[in-house]
C-alpha cells in the first residue's frame, strides 16, 4: 500500500474539523448541564442547603449508573435515541448525543466535588445577610469553586477528545474514523502514526491551556 502520508493531509484536516464540531458542541452541553446536575447533587445532600435524601439517592444513583457504563456500550445503546433526536445515528452531529450523555454525569460529579470544597464560613455569612439559595449558588458557591470547575472542565474536554475517537470507530467521523480508514484498514503506518501524534498534540495543548488558566485564577484569589 502507498505509505505517502502527505496525500492524506486534506482528509486529516477535514477530520479535525469534524472532531472540533462534535467535541465543541458536546463540551458546551456537558458543561452547561453538568453544572446544573452538580449543583442539584450538592444542594440536596444531607449537609446541603436544601437537603432531600430521596432525590439525592435517586438522582445520585442515576448519575453513578451512567458513569459506570463503558462509553462504547453507551454509544451503541443510544443509537435509537440518537436517531430519534437528530434523524441519523452516524456522522459528527449524531456523535454529539452519546458524547454529551457520557460526559455529563462525569462532570456533574466533578462539580459536586468542587462545590464541597467551598468554605462553609462564606456560605454561612451569605445566609446571615439573608441571601437566598439561588443567590448563594450564583455569588458564593460557583465563584469560589471556579478554579476547580475549570480544572474539571479541562479534564472533561480531554476525556471527550478520547471518546470522540471511539465514536469515529462506528461512523462518527473525526480523527478516529480517519485513523481507521486511512491508517489501519490500508496498512498505512505513517498515516496511523500521524493521527496519533495529532491527538497527542491537541490533548497536550488543551491540558496546558487549562492548567495555565487555573493557575492564573488561583493567583488572583
Looking at residue 176, what is its pLDDT? 81
What digits encode the pLDDT tens for the residues 119-132? Answer: 899 999 999 998 89
Looking at residue 4, what is its pLDDT? 60
* pTM for this entry: 0.90
Best CA proximity match to 176, nearest among 18, 5, 4, 2: 18
Residue that the C-alpha cell 486534506 belongs to: 10
Cα distances (angstroms) measured from residue 123 to each of 8, 24, 115, 130, 141: 56, 34, 11, 11, 8
Mean pLDDT of the chain, nearest integer: 88
Amino acid at each position: 500500500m502507498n505509505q505517502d502520508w502527505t496525500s492524506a493531509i486534506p482528509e486529516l484536516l477535514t477530520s479535525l474539523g469534524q472532531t472540533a464540531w462534535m467535541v465543541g458542541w458536546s463540551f458546551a452541553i456537558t458543561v452547561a448541564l453538568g453544572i446544573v446536575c452538580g449543583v442539584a447533587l450538592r444542594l440536596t445532600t444531607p449537609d446541603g442547603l436544601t437537603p432531600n435524601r430521596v432525590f439525592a439517592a435517586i438522582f445520585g444513583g442515576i448519575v453513578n449508573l451512567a458513569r459506570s457504563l463503558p462509553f462504547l456500550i453507551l454509544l451503541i445503546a443510544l443509537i435509537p435515541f440518537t436517531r430519534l433526536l437528530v434523524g441519523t445515528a452516524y456522522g459528527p452531529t449524531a456523535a454529539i448525543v452519546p458524547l454529551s450523555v457520557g460526559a455529563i454525569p462525569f462532570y456533574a460529579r466533578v462539580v459536586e466535588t468542587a462545590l464541597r470544597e467551598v468554605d462553609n464560613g462564606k456560605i454561612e455569612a451569605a445566609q446571615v445577610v439573608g441571601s437566598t439559595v439561588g443567590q448563594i449558588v450564583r455569588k458564593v458557591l460557583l465563584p469560589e469553586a471556579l478554579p476547580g470547575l475549570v480544572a474539571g472542565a479541562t479534564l472533561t474536554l480531554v476525556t471527550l477528545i478520547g471518546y470522540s475517537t471511539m465514536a469515529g470507530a462506528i461512523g462518527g467521523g473525526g480523527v478516529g474514523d480517519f485513523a481507521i480508514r486511512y491508517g489501519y484498514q490500508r496498512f498505512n503506518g505513517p498515516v496511523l502514526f500521524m493521527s496519533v501524534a495529532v491527538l497527542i498534540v491537541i490533548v497536550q495543548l488543551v491540558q496546558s491551556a487549562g492548567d495555565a488558566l487555573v493557575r492564573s485564577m488561583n493567583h488572583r484569589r
